[in-house]
Structure 1
Amino acid sequence: MNSYHGIENKLSAARTQLILDKPFLGALVLRLPMKAANPDWCEKVATDARHFYYNPEYIEHLNVNEVQFVLAHEALHCALSHFARREHRNKFRWDIACDHAINPLLLDDNLTPPSGVWIEQSYKGMTAEEIYPYIDENNADEPMDRHIYEDEEQHSEGEQGSDTQAPSNEECDPQGDSGLDETQREDNFGGQGDEPQQNQATEDDLADQPPPLTDTEKQNLETQWRQRLAGAAQQAMQAGKLGAEMARLVDHLLQPRLPWRSLLARYMTMTARDDYTYSRPSRREGNAVFPSLRSAQLDIIVAIDISGSISDAEIAECLSEIDGLKGQLRAKITLLACDADLAAECPWQFEPWDEFYMPLAIAGGGGTDFRPVFDYVEQHDAQPDLLVYFTDAEGTFPKHAPHYPVIWLVKGKHHVPWGQRVQLN
């Protein structure tokens, strides 16, 4: 009993230090009640997006600083909704990608990883979805922890977690922290309200492995964790203790998640110049003059960042989507390719009846400068109805926005200084 009591004291000390030094991570850790787990299934630590499970012997061999890293790691898995974002991906590779997305952030926040935790700095700033394609199918790495929100037997592509366990009203309230007014909710985020109760574990009182989450539980927990993420970030910003990298991550995750295809169709449709005409009909149609809807041809410029930030497959997918919209809107398209400068073969022009595609493989890979595209428009005295730019938004922008609308289809988390930003991935 004394040994378990000392382990719980270590966990509490690590959590308290996180709350004081790193209120963003500390507020998230507070939302995960801690449970000592049976070593038969929990070798180190684990989470099911509702609890933090730990092997007492593993925690006993860590110092307080390393325990902080482990606590923050599990909390970020939940706050980033890794349990709800796997979709068709292989679970084992997805779990490794999620670990690689989190660990560089924690190291950058000056937390100390336990011995044996490998951190790949080349993945810094990348999401789990962006990292996943780089994880080889025969990868010999092991996840740092166990992610037990899904059936772990389902390792093949396209398989999803079990949906047999009924959701818990307490843990899956779709309103997140229902029953709390705004003041109480802020107190809980700051650690000043009622803390989740942790078990006083004994050797005969160790948690068994919980069942996988149902689809309903995943949806409700995702809503809860988004609310908690926003609250924790707000509190940390008020205290002036939210790092730049964490702030960009939070901003990226809290953006509206409408499919980029729907957003692109919406903006292109809004741009269509529809108007009514009262021109006299032919004599065969009678003498009455009725208003009729007439659509003018759209002039759209599509620019592609060929510095290497977007793959050929992604470009082809986006161009195919625009091709489908182009026919519906009667749009003429001018295609430009640019890295630090426009490609020598530019421009390519497509009439409304032409198929829109990438004419050839273009050698790019240089630095990224967006100004040549806008200079081209100005030099040719073009008056486009819309400019669509595919990019990672990491480059040099013109100082001032043009007089025509611009849509940025962005892969990654970088911001744009003006125009309409649509998340590509």
Structure 2
Amino acid sequence: MAKLERMRAHQDLIDFGNRILNEARTELYIHLRFMARALDSLGYTMDLATQSMGTDARTIHYNPNFVFALFLESPQKLDRLYLHILLHCIFRHMFSSDQYEDQALWDLAADIQVESVLDSMDYDIINRPAYPFREEWYERLRAECRVLSAERIYHYFHLNKPDLDTLQQLTLEFHKCDHQFWKRMEDPAGGSQPEIPEDLLDDASTLPDANAGDPDVDGSDATDPENPDHPAAASNASDAGTPDSPPVAEPDPATPPKNGTGALAQVDEAVLDEQWKDTAERLQTELTTFGAEASDETGSLAWVLAAQYRQETDFRDFLEKLTVLREVTHVDPDSFDYGYYNYGMEVYGNMPLIEENEFREERRISDLVIAIDTSASTEQGQVQRFLDETAAILRRRTNFFQRIRVHLVLCDDRVQEDIVLTKPEEIEDYAAHFEMKGGYGTDFRPVFQYVEKLRTQGALPELRGLMYFTDGHGPYPTKPTDYQTAFVYDTWADIDDQSAPDWALKLYLKDTAQI
């Protein structure tokens, strides 16, 4: 009998904890309908290994005492914490933690990113007062990182190590959930559950009925944990976390699951990572339409997602498309006439006759236009970084004919200068001594008009491509070009890459923030 009572008390704790978390999830469903898929992806597991709440990207592990106390103190705080945990999954922080040497610093960077997004959102259910300490650090980090991603924040702190007191202050301010489960992700079962103390089970008898007021549960059979129709039966499976439990089908996004069993309950880490990436990309698509009508409410979420999940194409991929096939004067030892080879072997026995070709075909770049946005919104440092990376690629002689034509066109709202470089070495030298010219408004069209003028004059007979470095804030040309065109953006800057025409490629400077 005593064992049965303990089992019932244990189940009451699970039922009540799950019911509270379901209430929080329902509140988030109502106000943030664009996050339905993400909200459906986490189940619940009562776990006394934590003093608060945390996730392993499969389920929310919670301490029942903490959940009860926080719910009684403020349902709004519980809603915000729930969303804080969910954003960790959307940004996939737990899948990147092992890539960083300083785990504590990574945890802090991840928490700052999530809290900055939450503070930018305007929903009553998650609002909290703005504190000067937070705002001061947000301003400082944005000045250095532009986009407050965990990777960039970690990079900043790694290079500008805060003192111990500041680090403690930041941790107290931004740390909200338990990250220990990020380290336990390789175990789908979530580890063994510690035995529940007697006093906690005794307290369970004083809790309100977890099923009170639930129209789906009635009668004595509904309160029996052995009843398969009772929510406790599914909660038992979620709490046990055994590898033998059957996989859970994905729930309907319109209806929150009552038992808290998430769709991602039992999948390996690699699959889990891909599923959260897919969830984040779908959320980004939802925000593209929903955010247009409620951008103030969603805050920086859409922008941060766009920055984190944009496809960054490497320069080399684009330059490869601009190459042309041409014969060059160069002995090619890899090709010779096998007829002479066999003739020598037959006539002289052991003396093959080999005649190497004096020409070989190579793919090299001939004409290239590199346009640089020198308007007031473009910073010298951004342009310098672009030129340095471009020069590092183009200075390699194997990418060029012995004489080349690279037009470096500086333009704000008009063409300011056109420098023609004919040797690979000149590109690196120009990059080292580059100075901005212009500084007025932005208009991309004059460059394309200027290029057409050069082509008419015969100055670009073999033009295959144009790269335009810019922050994207300005009017784009509407007429497609008959040569490859790419707009290049610095991912560290405040860019507008959504307005670029469909016929042009979008390239990004490689983000060096990750360490």
What TM bracket, shorter-length normalisation?
0.5 to 0.7
| Residue number in structure 1 paired with 2:507 | 422
The yes-or-no answer on 1:327 pairing with 2:398 is yes
Q: Aligned AA for 2:37?
A: A
CA distance in 1, matches of 2:179, 2:440: 39
Q: 1:329 to 1:148 in 2, by over 3 A?
A: farther
Higher radius of gyration, 1 or 2: 2
Shift of 1:329: 3.9
CA distance in 2, matches of 1:179, 1:41: 25
Q: 1:361 to 1:332 in 2, by over 3 A?
A: closer
Shift of 1:26: 4.0
CA distance in 1, matches of 2:440, 2:182: 42
| Residue number in structure 2 paired with 1:270 | 321
CA distance in 1, matches of 2:22, 2:381: 45
> Which residue of 70, 84, 106 corresponds with 1:73?
84
Q: 1:379 to 1:313 in 2, by over 3 A?
A: closer
Structure-to-structure mapping, 1:1-400, within 5 angstroms: 8-38=18-48, 42=51, 44-55=52-63, 56-57=65-66, 59-60=70-71, 62-85=73-96, 87-88=99-100, 90-111=102-123, 112-114=126-128, 118=134, 122=139, 123=142, 126-135=148-157, 136-138=160-162, 139-140=166-167, 141-142=170-171, 143-145=174-176, 146-148=178-180, 165=186, 185=250, 187-191=251-255, 196-197=260-261, 218-232=269-283, 244=295, 246-251=301-306, 253-256=308-311, 260-261=313-314, 264-274=315-325, 293=361, 298-305=366-373, 307-308=378-379, 311=382, 314-315=385-386, 317-323=388-394, 327-330=398-401, 331-338=404-411, 347=419, 349-352=421-424, 354=426, 356-357=428-429, 358-363=431-436, 366=439, 369-371=442-444, 373-378=447-452, 380-381=454-455, 383=460, 384-400=463-479
Consecutive unaligned residues of structure 1, counting only runs of 5 or more, are 152-161, 172-177, 199-215, 278-284
How many residue pairs were aligned? 371
Q: What is the aligned-residue identity percentage?
A: 17
CA distance in 2, matches of 1:93, 1:269: 39
8 A contact 2:18–2:44 mirrored in 1: no
| Residue number in structure 2 paired with 1:411 | 490
Report which stretch shifted further, 66-75 or 305-314: 305-314
Matched position secondary structure for 1:422: strand
Q: 1:197 to 1:132 in 2, by over 3 A?
A: same
Q: Taking structure 1 as the reference length, what is the TM-score of the superposition?
A: 0.67
| Residue number in structure 1 paired with 2:332 | none
8 A contact 1:320–1:356 mirrored in 2: yes
Matched position secondary structure for 1:68: helix
Matched position secondary structure for 1:274: strand
Shift of 1:421: 0.8
Matched position secondary structure for 2:432: coil
Once the two structures are superposed, residues 304-360 of structure 1 have per-residue CA deviations (whole angstroms, 9 ceiling, x without a partner) of: 44522854774355224422566324353233445666666x525242465535131
Shift of 1:73: 1.7
| Residue number in structure 1 paired with 2:344 | none
Q: 1:296 to 1:239 in 2, by over 3 A?
A: closer
8 A contact 2:324–2:366 mirrored in 1: yes
Q: 1:8 to 1:92 in 2, by over 3 A?
A: same
Report which stretch shifted further, 385-394 or 247-256: 247-256
Q: Aligned AA for 1:335?
A: L
CA distance in 1, matches of 2:469, 2:308: 20
CA distance in 2, matches of 1:222, 1:250: 16
Return the structure number with greater helix share: 2
Q: 1:392 to 1:82 in 2, by over 3 A?
A: farther
Once the two structures are superposed, residues 174-210 of structure 1 have per-residue CA deviations (whole angstroms, 9 ceiling, x without a partner) of: xxxx978xxx64x444445676339xxxxxxxxxxxx
CA distance in 1, matches of 2:380, 2:58: 36
Let me know the Cα RMSD of the aligned residues: 4.6
CA distance in 2, matches of 1:350, 1:28: 54
Matched position secondary structure for 1:356: helix
Matched position secondary structure for 1:31: coil
Once the two structures are superposed, residues 151-170 of structure 1 have per-residue CA deviations (whole angstroms, 9 ceiling, x without a partner) of: 6xxxxxxxxxx99x566699
CA distance in 1, matches of 2:148, 2:95: 18
| Residue number in structure 1 paired with 2:193 | none
8 A contact 2:92–2:276 mirrored in 1: yes
Consecutive unaligned residues of structure 2, counting only runs of 5 or more, are 1-8, 191-236, 239-245, 329-336, 341-356
